[in-house]
Chains A and B, each alone.
Chain A
Amino acid sequence: MVRMSSVVIVGYGGYVPRYRIKGEEIARIWGRDRSELPTEEKSVTGLDEDTVTLAVEAARIALKRARIPPSKIGAVHVGTESKPYAVKPSGTIVAEAIGAVPRITAADFEFACKAGTEALQFITSLVDAGRIEYGLAIGADTAQGRPGDALEFTAASGAAAFIIGKNKNEGVAEIEAWTSYVTDTPDFWRREYERYPHHTARFTGDPAYFHHIVNSVKNLLENDGYTLNDVDYVVFHQPNTRFPLVAARLLGVDLEKVKPGLVVGQIGNTYAACSLLGLVRVLDQAKPGQRILLSSFGSGAGSDSYIIRVLENIKLKRDLAPPLDKFIDRKTYIDYAIYARHRKKILM
């Protein structure tokens, strides 16, 4: 559907905060059965972290790989559903922190868990249209789950950042195509002034996650003339460990292509960062010439799908910053009491 001249990822970075809580520990508090936990463990922010600081961490890692002066960045878009401010852009703080101000455009995007890939669409388009030389797209969240709710087992924190440019020689991967599939499907929402989102349990499955991802991927493949054989890795949005595997089955994707991009089991669902962190993990290991199919999902609902081809440069730039696994493996377990403190669930 949307073919681009040449738009490349010149730098990428993933960040996960240090703290983890095990699904078992959450189950212990609420007396839940431990045999069917949606993830093993999830990442939790430190007391001094929020979506903005996570976004800055990821952006700085991306900059290290991009090796461009931050002042050349023309747009900073942050996709998140956990903005520290309801009114006041996160993008301005991120842009200031990395030194990209003031000749930029900055905005925050919200589309539940696909806000990050949505930000990527707009940055990609701005670069493709020649309006900016480089742009920074970030998906970042410190996701909220109501205590005791199923979401509490998965709602996690993390960020992924991508610096997009046009010069193929600088790119670690080329964005060959993307598409979007959107309908009004109220599977999950958070009203204004509310602390925690609501969801519709099993309704979030077939009519929401699976319907949108499957159609988004099919449209992309059909319209742009790709087949699943053309791709070496497939990264889906990962609200739990089961959904991406089912999506793979529905689309007929070999599970071996999905596994490298799975991070949900170790860090949980990082919402707007979730599928992008999967992409980061794949970029950390993919070989030049390999293709990645990325498909996000955002409640409400929609799915963005991308075809990304890895370039030669990946070999040079990958090691300029720590791989995502370094942050995934850097972990300290906390109990529910510390978790409650970190996530401000204690009334002070």
Chain B
Amino acid sequence: MFRIKIPRYWRHKDFRYRLNAWRCNHCGEVHFFKPLVCRKCRSREFNQVSLPDTGKLLAYTVVRSPPEGFEAQSPYIVGIVELDDGTRILSQITDCHPEELKKGMRVEATLRKIREDDEDKIIAYCYKFRPTV
């Protein structure tokens, strides 16, 4: 029922692969997906920015009741990361067990498989964060 829609996945690869986002020229608000109007100040001018790939973990949890498409990975960790420029980003946290995580610990971005519907279907990649190596 819930499948990767290829054009939708492909359209946003700049953000998902490289954390490329938009920053409002007027108020500085960061938008992950191409905005036409700033949600905060309603300005219509944006600059593309490359978000920092490091930050600290503000909070984390473990998804134990996964949505369709994520069953094979469950349980997996989801966290809120505050990037070094202050942007908060929701992300899977990888390469660790929950008990190794601590609030405030340094994390860095990496690229991982986020989902694949079947062995014969497309593989979707996305940023995830992991404890800094």
Contact = CB atoms under 8 A, between A and B. Distances in A.
A–B contact with Cβ pairs below 8 Å: the answer is yes
Interface of A: 18, 46-50, 52-53, 56-57, 84-85, 93, 96-99, 322, 326-327, 330, 332, 348
B114 A48 contact: yes
B122 to A, nearest CB: 9
Interface in B89-118: 92, 94-95, 97, 110-114
B72 interface: yes
5 contacts: A48-B112, A56-B111, A85-B123, A97-B111, A326-B133
Nearest to B126: A48
Nearest to B112: A48
B72 A348 contact: yes
Interface of B: 13, 17-18, 72-73, 92, 94-95, 97, 110-114, 123, 125, 128, 133
B64 to A, nearest CB: 15
A17 to B, nearest CB: 8
Contact of A97 (B17, B114, B133): B17
Nearest to A326: B133
A327 B17 CA distance: 22
Nearest to A19: B95
A89 to B, nearest CB: 13
A47 B72 contact: yes
A98 B50 CA distance: 12
Contacts of A332: 97
Given A48-B128, A97-B125, A18 B18 contact: no
A48 B94 contact: yes
Contact of B113 (A50, A97, A348): A50
